[in-house]
Structure 1
Amino acid sequence: MKQIVNILLCINLLWSPLNSFGQSSNPAERDSIQIQIAHPSGLAGQDNAVSLLEKRLTQAVVLNGIASATSRFLLVTDIHELSSQVTTSTPPQYVTELEISCYITDQTEKTVLQQTTFNVKGVARTKAKAYQHAIGSIQARNPKLKTLINRGKEKIAAYYQAQKEE
C-alpha cells in the first residue's frame, strides 16, 4: 500500500505544473513582472536581523507571486536606528526603535517606483536581540508591505504596457 501511495505521489509531482517562486501561470505576466530582493543595508554587525528581514521580504514577494532571483526591479531596504535605550530595570533591557524604508526600484532607469516606511520597536536583554524583535514584528502578510508590492506591480505593468504601445 505504501508503495502505491509513493508511486502516485511521484506521478503527481511529475505531471503537475511547478511554478518556481510562486510565479503566475500567465507566461506574459510571469516573464515581465518580477522583483528581486536586495540585501538590506544599514545594520552593520547585525547579520541575524538582516537575514530575518531578507527572509520576511522574500516571503512577502513570493506570496504575491512575483519573486525572482534576478530582475531589473529590486526591493531595496534601508534601515536606520532612531533610538536605542537601556532601561533602569533589573535585569536591564534594551529598547530599540528602527525605521525601515522599503523601495521598489528600476535598476536600468535608476528610478524609484514605490516606497513605504515602517517604524518598529524591539525590547530584549541584548541590543542584537532587540534588533531581531523589532524586525521580527514585520510579517510577510503586513498590509503596508502588501500595498507596496501591489502598487509596485501596477507601476511595473504600466511600464511594460507603455513599452508595448511604442
Structure 2
Amino acid sequence: MQPRFSSSSIEVELIWLKDRFQRWLRFGQPVDEIAHDRRRRAVTFAPGAVFALIHWEAGDYGTTLSRLWVLRAVEAGERFDRVPFVNPGAEVLLDLKTWVKVRAGLDAIDAIEALGINPERVCLDHWRHVGGRIAVAEPPSPYTRVRHRAWLSRKRLGLIDEDAA
C-alpha cells in the first residue's frame, strides 16, 4: 500500500561533487532553496509542481549510475511513491536507469523545449508514454504543439482529472 502525503511541500536533496557524484534538476521551479554548503542544497516544490531530477555517479573507471525521474509533487492526502532524495516522496511520471535511456529521456525533454513549451506544463501522460517507450527501446511519439494546446484546453475546461492524467 502506498503511503499518503500529509505535508504541504516536497523537499529534494541536490549535490554536486565534481567528477564523482551529482544530483541536479533538469527542469522545475522550486518555491524555496536552502544552501547547506557549496556542494549541497535542498529545494522545495509546491504541491502539483512537475520537475525532473537527474542522479549521476562515477567511479574510478567512469559512470557507475545514471538515473532520470520526472516527478509530480503531490497534494496533502494523495498517495505517493518513495523516491530516493525526495522527502517524503512524489508521483513518479518517468523513471529511467542507465545512461542510454537517460540520454533518450533528456532528448525528449530537449525536443519539447525546442517547441517553446515548458516541460513542467506537458501532459502528464506524455511522461508516462516516454518512459514506457524508452523502457522497451522504442522511440517515444513526439510531443506536438497541437497536443499541448489540446491538453491545456481540456485542463482549462475541467474535462480531465489531473490526478488521473
- For this structure pair, what is the TM-score category when the shorter chain's length is used for normalisation? 0.3 to 0.5
Instruction: Give the structure with the larger strand fraction.
Output: 2
Instruction: Give the structure with the larger helix fraction.
Output: 1
TM-score normalised by length of structure 2: 0.33
